[in-house]
Amino acid sequence: MDWSCLSCCAFNKHSYTQSVINTNVVGNLLKTLRTILTILTLGLVSQVFGQTNQKDTTFLLKETVDGELHTIFIDNNKSSKFYPDILDFKFGRFDKESYTSSLDYLKENNQPLIKKKPLIPLTTWVTLKQYKGQLYAYHPCDFLFHFRQSINDTTFIDWTGEGPVANKIVNSKKIDSKTYEFHLVGIYDKEQKLTIHIIDNKKGIAVFEQLSSNATDKRYYLMIAADKIKSVPIIVNYCPTQKQMELEFETPDYKTMLKSK
């Protein structure tokens, strides 16, 4: 009898059995880790929304990506803690650099600022989005994509993800109680005509119509007055630890909206 062969077979059988055991152990460990991760995620979700009435919250997405929480939801609570984040018009640490650079451009191109009280009563604006036919404020995952605008007595400011940019108000005029027109000059849009069409005065909603000197087509976008932001619900893209994809929105029917003025 070939004892070496028997020994080899016994060894191989032992190795196979040990491999199966190890595989089962790893499988069970992964299941346990997934269970723990799910519990922790649910706990974190509860913690995040613990101060919000669940009836006010509609989830559009709830997932974990690489072990990290990511949710997108509609918050109908007018006291939502997410509104203040999108209403920040204060100059941050790096904002002065961007703003100063845009002012320097105006100075270098002989565009002195003209001080004049704004004709329009609504002077701070936040981007507005359309999702499944309804209008919402939007709290993005990445604030690089958040857009605001403000008007003071000398400049029309674009608040972009890279900082505020000042445009000189060359002239402005009130067409009627719902329409205001601005002629602007700036570092990025050398010359532009911007018309604000207020389509819902109660909610502070407006269609902005922009025609730049370097463009052949008009550009339209929706904005809402900052002090009336709570007249619409807010969609929140919550990603506390790493960047995720932004929610895709619809293109509004601007022609129909403008007819409703």
| Cβ proximity of 73 and 57 under 8 Å | yes
Q: What is the largest CA-CA distance in the chain?
A: 108
HEC readout, 51-63: CCCHHHEEEEEEE
Residues 32-63: b if buried by 16+ CB within 10 A, e if exposed: eeeeeeeeebeeebeebbeebeeebbeeeeee
Give 25-59 as a DSSP string. Answer: HHHHHHHHHHHHHHHHHHHHHHHHTTTS-GGGEEE
Q: Which two tokens stand for residue 47?
A: 């913690």
| Cβ proximity of 73 and 103 under 8 Å | no
Output the pTM of the full model.
Answer: 0.80
Alpha helices in 56-114 (DSSP H): 95-108
pLDDT digits (tens, 9 = 90+) for 146-172: 999 999 999 999 999 999 999 999 999
pLDDT along the chain (261 residues), means of 10: 45 46 50 46 50 76 89 97 96 90 97 96 98 98 96 97 96 97 96 97 97 89 98 97 94 96 82
C-alpha 155/C-alpha 169 separation (Å) is 5
pLDDT value of residue 49: 54
C-alpha of 205 from chain center:
18
Domain boundaries, the chain: 1-48, 54-259
Reported in sequence order, the residue ranges of the chain that DSSP labels E, i.e. its strands, are 57-65, 68-75, 124-127, 129-131, 134-139, 148-151, 155-160, 163-176, 179-185, 192-200, 205-212, 219-225, 234-238
pLDDT value of residue 151: 98
pLDDT value of residue 35: 42
C-alpha 222/C-alpha 252 separation (Å) is 8
